[in-house]
Amino acid sequence: MQAPPEYCLFFIDHWFSCMSKTDWASWVQAMGSLLALCVAVGVVWWQRFDERKQAKAVQLALAEVAADSVLTHNRRTLGILDGISLRWSQIKDRTFLDKIPAAFSEKINAINIPTDEQLSHMAAVWPQQVRALATARSLIRIAADAMAQVAGGVQSGKTVAASDIDDVMSMLAIANDALKAAHFGIRPEYRPHGPSI
């Protein structure tokens, strides 16, 4: 029996580059399979990369929309807090404070605080600012409850102590600072405006 003819790679007649047709077919099939596997892995990797990129773009878009909404309300909130603070600082005679808690309570309750959904959309992009907004939100809620209790005490005939309102004003001042810090962190071009009374 005769040996099958050998075919050499680039016509180099050497033992490692010369094989029979079936050997060459096996090597070509092996290399083709390896190339197909690499292409398949590359396609999957590229699709995942593209999905992550698109998910990040959607997340950023949601964060921007949430931030725009929150910051729009934030400006109004800062105006309300500045107005309450200014009004409290202008009251010279703190002996007759019967009408103050109800008026302040009404203004505090008018504040539109960020929702959990808005904060969760913003958290991936601005984590520190979201913590500041969450702190301010908690303080505003506590201050609203405290001022409502003081106002309720007035309605039931209790006298209002200036220190009760001072405590609430301290919480609102901290909330105001947290809101401003968050606002500057998200939109550095923000400049505080004057109070609205």
Positions of the chain with pLDDT under 50: 194-197
Which CATH number characterizes residue 82's domain? 1.20.120
Say if 42 falls within a structural domain. no
Burial of residue 77 (CB within 10 Å: 0-12, 13-18, 19+) is buried
Say if 1 falls within a structural domain. no
The pLDDT score that the predictor gives to residue 9 is: 67
Say if 30 falls within a structural domain. no
Say if 29 falls within a structural domain. no
The pLDDT score that the predictor gives to residue 158 is: 81
The pLDDT score that the predictor gives to residue 161 is: 79
The pLDDT score that the predictor gives to residue 185 is: 86
The pLDDT score that the predictor gives to residue 10 is: 62
The pLDDT score that the predictor gives to residue 116 is: 92
The pLDDT score that the predictor gives to residue 194 is: 44
- Cβ neighbors of 29 (< 8 A, separation 6 or more) are none
Say if 34 falls within a structural domain. no
d(CA 36, CA 45): 14
Name the domain count of the chain: 1
Nearest to 135 by CA among 192, 80, 168, 181: 181
**CB neighbours of residue 115 within 10 Å:** 13
The pLDDT score that the predictor gives to residue 15 is: 55
The pLDDT score that the predictor gives to residue 197 is: 36
Q: Which domain holds residue 113?
A: 60-186
- Cβ neighbors of 134 (< 8 A, separation 6 or more) are 114, 119
Say if 194 falls within a structural domain. no
Nearest to 113 by CA among 146, 74, 67, 171: 74
The pLDDT score that the predictor gives to residue 156 is: 81
Q: Which amino acid is at 146?
A: A
The pLDDT score that the predictor gives to residue 5 is: 60
What global pTM score does this model have? 0.69
Say if 11 falls within a structural domain. no
d(CA 114, CA 24): 69
Say if 38 falls within a structural domain. no
